[in-house]
Amino acid sequence: MATFTKTVQTALLAIQSVAASSVVISSAFDMSAKLGGIVSARFGRRAVTAAGAGVNIRIEVSRATSGDNTWFPLAIFTSAFAACEGEAVSGTVSAGTNIITVASTTNLTIGDLIFIDNSSIANSEWGRIKSIVASTSVTLEDNLVNAQTGSTIYDLAEIYAPVSIPEGVMRIRAVSDGSLFTQAHAVEVALMTIDGIA
């Protein structure tokens, strides 16, 4: 049976805060020697007020090894933009645990995807609420990767289904078009490639 060699590449868009009404374009990643792969994207809120229009996260591919007039959308994810709930994390919540203490759980619901906005954006993360103790805490389905101190949780986070990259792609990039999204937000776009078959 054939075995695929796979590599988790440097993120197309490492987790980052994007200013309101801004567009961020990643560097192009060379896919010419790859046999395809998958790309995945996540979106998080960093403010509670409505944002005017959604962010369009575009995964774009090119049939050419250079030049900027051959980009085509492979997938487009459009975020929601209604007002969301934000709650400060109480004290320090340790990495490796899944209970986040908060002063209020108003408008939070079991099953909600949340973005845990750390003051150091690289330590932010996403989670899904498994259970709630009213006005005390939320329990996530999975443990935290990072300690969360001085963080805020926001609902209406989004995690999109991974997209397969066809074998014929020469380059790939990600574009986060928040030109009409009037609030700061977070994005992350990750890439895994198939490098060969043994």
Domain ranges of the chain: 4-81+157-197, 86-154
What pLDDT is stored for residue 103 in this prediction?
93
What does the buried/exposed string (b/e) look like for 126-154 if buried means 16 or more CB atoms within 10 Å of the residue's CB?
A: bbebeebeeeebbebeeebebebeebbbb
What pLDDT is stored for residue 46 in this prediction?
97
Q: Which of 72, 69, 66, 59 is nearest to 13 (CA)?
A: 59
| Burial class of residue 116 in the structure, from the number of CB atoms within 10 Å of its CB (0-12 exposed, 13-18 middle, 19+ buried) | buried
Q: Cα 108 from chain centroid?
A: 20
What pLDDT is stored for residue 197 in this prediction?
86
What pLDDT is stored for residue 3 in this prediction?
86
CA–CA separation, 178 vs 55, rounded Å?
A: 4
Q: Which of 6, 5, 13 is nearest to 121 (CA)?
A: 13
CA–CA separation, 169 vs 159, rounded Å?
A: 24
pTM attached to this predicted model = 0.94
What pLDDT is stored for residue 198 in this prediction?
76
Neighbouring C-alpha atoms within 13 Å toward the C-beta of 38: 8
If one looks up domain 86-154 in CATH, what number appears?
Answer: 2.40.30
Tell me which residues of the chain have a pLDDT lower than 70: none
Question: In terms of CATH architecture, what is 4-81+157-197?
Answer: Sandwich (2.60)
Q: Which of 120, 166, 175, 128 is nearest to 147 (CA)?
A: 120
What pLDDT is stored for residue 124 in this prediction?
98
CA–CA separation, 88 vs 24, rounded Å?
A: 28
CA–CA separation, 83 vs 81, rounded Å?
A: 7
